[in-house]
Amino acid sequence: MTIPSLPSFTAGQPTTQPTTQPAARLIGHWLAGLERAGIPDDVASAARACIIDTLGVALAGVGTDTARLARGEALDIHAAGPSTLLGGGRLCAEGAAFANTAAAHALDFDDNSYAGFVHGSAVVVPTALAAVEAAGGTGADLLTAVVAGAEAEYALAVALGNGVYEAGWWTTALFGVVGAAATAAKAFRLDGDRAADAVAFALCGAGGMRACFGTGAKPLLAAQAAANGLRAARLAKRGGAVPHVVGGLCPAGGAGPLRSHGADGLGPAVAPAGPGHRHQGLSGLPLLARGGRRGARPDDGAPLPPSDITAVRCVVPPLVAANLTYDRPTTPGEARFSLPFAVACVMLHGDLTLDHLTTATLADPHLHAAMERVSMRPDPGWNADPDRARLAPEGADVTVETATGRTFRRFCASARGTVARPLSAQEHAGKFHDCAGRAMGPEAAARLHRKLLDIDALPRLDGLLDGSIG
């Protein structure tokens, strides 16, 4: 895999000279030159937010069936080691990265990036934690490793374009292994050649299909990407020889040639994705289902009772329709990929939270009646408008019809928590406290949050999460 016009890099700074170096070698030597002192404040702040958000959702996810399965598998096949295992105990770095990544993505409540449509932090952060602990590193090393993995993964994703995802590949597994390899290479302080070997080796075994959506295979594939990327860095550290020109990435998916304009994100300039929520672009639904406040409400401003809503019609991009495939979900996993479920929860409960993703909620006959009133239609021409495709890649045009014949309509470009509509510091902290508090209680969650806010000051990571879950 060669990017003909990819800029060369020295100590993390891009130059204007074109190069024919393979992407793996370019990324590897950039990684070797990246240091904490060279990371801009805004990128460091974004990385810190991603660490906090990811560890929070991982703690919330550790009790799920999928996370327990991954933890059991890790304990069966991996040796004890220095890296923290959520749920208690320690394993070698590879085993901890596998189990903790599964927990981080089990609830699909982690962040997302439109560069390749990847859940970057769910793979990168647990890998960084495991590798930095194994290397005896500091909090600053953790932050640097997270930036390294995110930068490498997102730059590669932008260079390849979203055609890979649209062709059916699940890019979190595909690109995530590169992010994990880059993260571990930085944590292990590999030189440029060895870091390039890690990235190249990871790419040789990359893969993953979107058919996993709505099942426990989805977080397990993310976990596999984390473990495989970390293993690639370990093998590179031992001196294994690998090809640096990896041609035909995803040939069955028709990825096409790399586009060089995307690779100049290395610098670092591509900040990690901000913490967000599930169902990007659909956060306007609560407003509509509660009477469309913010300009489209009933005359008296009162919320619309669910019985008054006769239909909720959602026009979405083809990509959203392809992902939200469960019109009538039967499991919490399917419910996370169901637009009718999300809208029905908002109609009945005024919101959609982790507490609603249960079998008890799915068994509610009132919920089923509400879902019957929700429809979704893909708009084949959504991406014909470049501005709409860029600003609302997972948006929705929503119309609510009432029993009295009134109609309320709203276009929802992006969700709360996206870069376009970021969470406030208070909202971000609230999400962490809610998620982490489920596993460790409110006081312990507050203490951990304070430590993570000052991650650069931690002289070591040993004990950061010890005792987090009984």
Q: Which CATH architecture has domain 9-265?
A: Orthogonal Bundle (1.10)
The pairing of strands 90-91 and 374-378 is unpaired
Return the pLDDT at 467: 52
For residue 30, the Cα-to-chain-centroid distance in whole angstroms is 23
Which residues in 214-346 belong to E strands, given as ranges?
309-316
Q: Residues of CATH 3.30.1330.120 domain(s) within the chain?
A: 285-412
322 or 282: which carries more pLDDT confidence?
Answer: 322
* Range list of β-strands (E), 94-157: none
Selected residue with higher pLDDT from 418 and 344: 344
Query: Looking at residue 168, what DSSP letter applies?
Result: T
User: How far is 122 from 276, CA to CA, in rounded Å?
Assistant: 12
Question: Could you read off the pLDDT of 183-235 as tens digits, one per residue?
Answer: 999 999 999 999 999 999 898 888 877 778 878 889 999 999 999 999 999 99
CA distance 124 to 282: 26
The predicted model gives 75-88 an average pLDDT of: 94
Is the domain defined by 285-412 classed in CATH 3.20.20.150?
A: no
Share of the chain above pLDDT 70, in %: 81
What confidence score (pLDDT) does residue 273 get? 45
* pLDDT recorded at residue 216: 80
pLDDT at 454: 95
Q: Where in the chain is the domain with CATH 1.10.4100.10?
A: 9-265
**Could you tell me the pTM of the whole model?**
0.82
Backbone angles phi, psi at 2, to 5 degrees: -120, 135
Instruction: Indicate the average pLDDT of the chain.
Output: 82
Residues 257-296 have pLDDT tens digits of 333 333 344 554 444 444 443 443 344 454 444 444 333 4
Quick one: pLDDT band at residue 384, thresholds 50, 70, 90? confident
